[in-house]
Amino acid sequence: MAQDESAVTLTLFDFRIKFNTVHQHHFDDQDTDNNSLTCNFGMLKQKLRSKNRLAFSNKFEWEGEIDCSPDKEIYDVRISSTCSCILALTDSAFLVIDYSTHQIRTRIKTDCLYFTIEEDYDGLGNDALLTNRMGVVSKYDLKRFIHEKEECKPLWNYSIPDHGGFICDTVNWMNLDGRRLVIVLSQTHIHFIDSAFGMVADTGIPLENDNFVSGCIEVDRTNKNAIYFLAGSLNRYEYVNGDWIGKQHEISLGTTDGLFMDKVSGNLYFSGFQGVYAVKNTGEFLGKHDGSCSGLCIDDKSGLMYVGFGNMLTILR
């Protein structure tokens, strides 16, 4: 409310259109701090994210699809509520797809094979893009990356020690006892990097010589201090009193590409050339969707699953 009781300032946030857009209509001469509005907009969207959605049904019913041609293959997919977009990684580019219309907004060339999105990395509702290219991990502000495209400079780079050339270049992040850590893999360890500064943290998980990690490392979205990965068996490691405690569950899946947990049900979803497998976090089989596919994710707001099948991004419910 302005000093003049007959004048007000009305700010409208439109979530249907391009990210970070604020429509303002001023009924007086009072200036508005645009930086403050941007921060408030991000935090408002963060708070309005649905927390009461249903779990993924495991019925794998077709809901829709997004044609990503002329790109030949989709490697992985993630969703940013802050930027109102679906981010799909193909064989040659990041595709920024409008969350509501499913239209491709822009195409950003890249040769990385693995990525993820770190939500609310700055505490102001903004997301970060984490990429792993042949053992070099980079972090970008996602809004800036979409705007500046190939010219965008990373917030930091980190070279994984003892990377080798024949390992999975997975990348993920977690909140471990209040610390934001980026999760990466070398030939001998699962490494944890401080997300704020790109420096190695003081925790890590050694791998057995024959413990080959297939696909991705996923965070336990129902327990912030635990991770899952497939290495012969289904491995779960939980951080307890300063130590990583491991537990294995027998499971027969072969080679996989993607791994994602539904934070509502706690079920795990593996994807690969044999299809999408749904399993409990104890390894118990729940269901399958046939068809050779790549990465996948589940929308935190709707509970829909997005899966890459060739150059088509298929949506399942």
- Phi/psi of residue 126, nearest 5 degrees: -90, 145
Among 251, 228, 230, smallest CA distance to 238 is for: 228
Output the CATH code of domain 58-316.
Answer: 2.130.10.10
Q: What is the pLDDT of residues 175-218, one digit of tens each?
A: 998 899 999 988 888 999 999 999 998 778 988 755 678 778 99
Q: Tokens 């939980």, residue? A: 238
Residues 101-115: tens digit of each pLDDT: 999 999 999 999 899
Phi, psi of 220 (to 5 degrees): -70, 105
- Average pLDDT taken over every residue of the chain: 85
Burial of 42 (0-12, 13-18, 19+ CB in 10 A): buried
CA 311 to CA 74: how far, in whole Å?
Answer: 5
pLDDT band for position 221 (50/70/90)? very high
Q: What is the mean pLDDT of residues 261-279?
A: 94
pLDDT band at 297 (very low <50, low <70, confident <90, very high): very high
Among candidates 312, 20, 313, 44, which has minimal Cα distance to 145? 20
What pLDDT was estimated at residue 15? 52
Mean pLDDT of the 5-23 span: 54
CA 238 to chain centre: 20
Q: Where are the domains of the chain?
A: 58-316
Q: What are phi and psi of 137, to 5 degrees?
A: -95, 135
CB within 8 Å of 272: residues ≥ 6 apart: 215, 253, 254, 255, 256, 257, 258, 292, 293, 294
Residue 29 pLDDT exceeds 60: no
What pLDDT shows up at residue 139? Answer: 98
Who wins on pLDDT, 175 or 168?
175
pLDDT of residue 28: 38
